[in-house]
Amino acid sequence: MTVLSTAEELLPNPGEFREVFSALEREMGKAVVGHQQPIRRILIAFFAGGHVLIEGVPGIGKTLMVRSLAEALDLSFSRIQFTIDLMPADITGTRILEESEAGRRAMVFAPGPLFAHLVLADEINRATPKTQSALLEAMAELQVTVAGTTHPLESPFFVLATLNPIEMEGTYPLPEAQLDRFLFKVPLAYPGVEGLREIVRLTTGVEPPRITPIFGADAARRVDALRALVREVMVAPQIEDYVASLVRSTIPEVSNDPQIKKYLSYGASPRGAQALILGAKVVALLSGRVNVSFADVEEIAVPALAHRLVMNFAAETESITPQSIVEHLLEVGRRGQR
């Protein structure tokens, strides 16, 4: 709360927000080649206050992307390599017996790797559901409870998890509750020829790319201020209605769309609507507006909703993807719901 108050005092204007955002894109682009759109979406989720799930094959630059962001923001960064034997306490921290200089022994809390501004949960699907669930409270409430004691996380807190779509043996697909905590799911595709050439050129040269922090010492406060600015963006009731109807239409039980009824088992939760609005606000600021438009919602609809849709067997057999379902709903929305 204190941080938010400070952020409100330092509330930047939309122009400054766009400058920071562009600078971040530029700095990250120095290290990560060929992923402009994923970088943009990751930054949108970051300023919207959400977390991102990145799905991509190994070696495609997922870890580099998170590391670059941390360096550009000059924020604390931790990496957790999820494995099958990873325990929750390994993430959240645990109480240990510590002896003071005076010889007194006491149980003290040793923070885990979650206590950082930026957390990379690498290959999160390789940990057990129990360990995966250890992230739930941290991602949703920015706090960790260990042994009955709640420990707040420092803002900004940003989790960037990665999924390896191959090597599925010995993995544990993320439960729906865990997936719902992520604001966006960003797929990373293979880079093209131009991208590969640039990657080779940058990473095999004498001097590796150097990322310059865009903030000074008060980077965390500046980021919080920018996040507060995002929340100030105004939304017309008609757009709220549009978002609500869009999310509502993903629920098979209530949707009138035959495709939804045929291919979906479960639809998006209210977190989906929150993700749509928050992401649209960032997009609005990037567009030079202080109000959300329908186009803003549509731009981030797929990354905000696709991973929240639970497809059924019919969809898998017919190769129907969640992305195509969301795009179909957007098309329906363009025709009738405006």
Please, which residue, 138 or 280, has the CB nearer to other proteins?
Answer: 280
Backbone φ and ψ for 210, nearest 5 degrees, come out as: -110, 130
- Asked if 307 and 259 count as a contact pair (C-beta separation under 8 A), the reply is no
Other beta carbons within 10 angstroms of residue 303's beta carbon come to: 26
User: Which one of 236, 265, 314, 318 is in contact with other proteins (CB under 8 A)?
Assistant: 236
Which span (7-15, 49-57, 79-87, 319-327) binds other proteins, by CB under 8 A? 7-15
d(C-alpha 16, C-alpha 223), whole Å: 12
Work out how close the CB of 233 gets to other proteins at its nearest, in angstroms, rounded to a whole number.
Answer: 6
Q: How far is the CB of 327 from other proteins (least distance, A)?
A: 21
- Residue 234 found at the interface with other proteins (CB under 8 A): yes
Binding string, residues 33-72; x marks residues near other proteins by CB under 8 A: ----------------------------------------
Q: Does 76 bind other proteins (CB under 8 A)?
A: no
Q: Which of 31, 72, 144, 235 binds other proteins (CB under 8 A)?
A: 235
For position 289 contacting other proteins by CB under 8 A, the verdict is: yes
Number of residues that bind other proteins (CB under 8 A): 20
Cβ 155 to other proteins shortest distance, Å: 20
Find out whether 95 and 109 touch, Cβ atoms under 8 Å.
yes
- CA gap 264, 182 in Å, rounded: 20
Is 333 a binding residue for other proteins by CB under 8 A? The answer is no
Q: What single string gives the DSSP state of each residue in 143-197? A: EEEETTEEEEPPSS-EEEEEE-SS--TT--PPPHHHHHT-SEEEE-PPP-HHHHH
Is the Cβ of residue 26 or residue 289 nearer to other proteins in the bound state?
Answer: 289
| Interface with other proteins (CB under 8 A), residue from 5, 9, 13, 167 | 13
Q: Could you tell me where the beta strands, DSSP code E, fall in the chain?
A: 52-55, 77-81, 93-99, 105-111, 118-122, 143-146, 149-152, 158-163, 184-187, 264-266, 310-311
Residues found near other proteins in the complex (CB under 8 A): 11, 13-14, 229, 232-239, 287, 289-295
